[in-house]
Amino acid sequence: MEWIEDVRRQLIIRQYSANTQKAYLGALQLLGRHFTERDPRHLQPLDIEHYLLYLAEQKNYSFSGLNLMVNAIKFLFEKVWNLPKTTYYLPRPRKTHTLPKVLDEEDIKKIFAQVKNPKHRLILYVAYSSGLRVSEVVNIRLTDIHRKSMQIRIEQSKGRKDRMVVLSKKVLSLMEDYYRRYRPKEYLFEGQYGGPYSIRSAQMIFKRFKQMANVNIKGGIHLLRHSFATHLLEQGADIRLVQQQLGHNSVKTTQLYTHVTEKRNQHLRSPLDNLEE
């Protein structure tokens, strides 16, 4: 599959993220191995449709997996081989909309109570207090911390956008002790040999302490981001401000959390019921 190198080169030239490069290359290698007797350049739209159907029915691909494959194939055909868009049809599967899973405040307290290591504690605090993706947490540089404005700069995250997010007073207080103990040089959280802390390590930290706290909601460290958004909306925060904090392109994405708050609010008691007569 000599064309794989062409794909790799175009991904680098167009400055796609490392994660996207890895995902597209992996998907297209699978495509190449499936059609071993044919050059993918000569595949017809019906061939692609049958391949997607095979992935869905025989390999149990999720919507996101199928969508990734579609995007990778479109990149190969349109960006690498410069084929016109009108020459093929790639049906996109219908996405099933599920509400984000969210931790209650009490569950978050239980998880945080298990964490004794200052570095591990700060990683989880930053993820929740600013609503960050794990990749954003580990890539925060010391120069991204703005104490005067109480903000953190998130640089070139998903969609290659910069944004400013809230810096918690409690997090800032923890940082002072953390700096003295660990003396980071460039990144807020650094690995054993320098450079940013690994995403995998941050994920494992959350998984371990969630288990120790006996919190049984399925999901990884991204639960903290979901919880941040939901808790802000429950407090009455403007949805546009929450959208900006999360870095969503469309407010429609952020509106998913309003459905979560509506579901959770079904269990609220009226304040009148709490009054003693």
Sequence-distant (≥ 6) Cβ neighbours of residue 243 within 8 angstroms:
250, 251, 253, 254
* CA nearest neighbour of 210 among 225, 199, 223: 223
Q: Check if 163 is active-site.
A: no
Q: Check if 259 is active-site.
A: no
Could you tell me the two tokens for 193? 């040999």
From 79, 121, 141, 222, active-site residue: 222
Among positive and negative, which fits the CA dihedral 132, 138, 141, 145?
Answer: positive
Could you tell me the two tokens for 92? 């996109």
From 133, 210, 226, 231, active-site residue: 133
State the CB neighbour count (10 A cutoff) for residue 174: 17
Q: Check if 222 is active-site.
A: yes
From 101, 158, 163, 264, active-site residue: 158
Quote the CA–CA distance of 19 and 105 in Å, as a whole number.
32
From 88, 120, 128, 225, active-site residue: 225
Q: Where do the H-state alpha helices sit in the chain?
A: 3-13, 18-34, 45-57, 63-74, 105-113, 118-130, 134-138, 169-182, 199-212, 222-234, 239-246, 251-265
Q: Check if 257 is active-site.
A: yes
Give SS3 for 196: strand
Catalytic residues: 133, 158, 222, 225, 248, 257
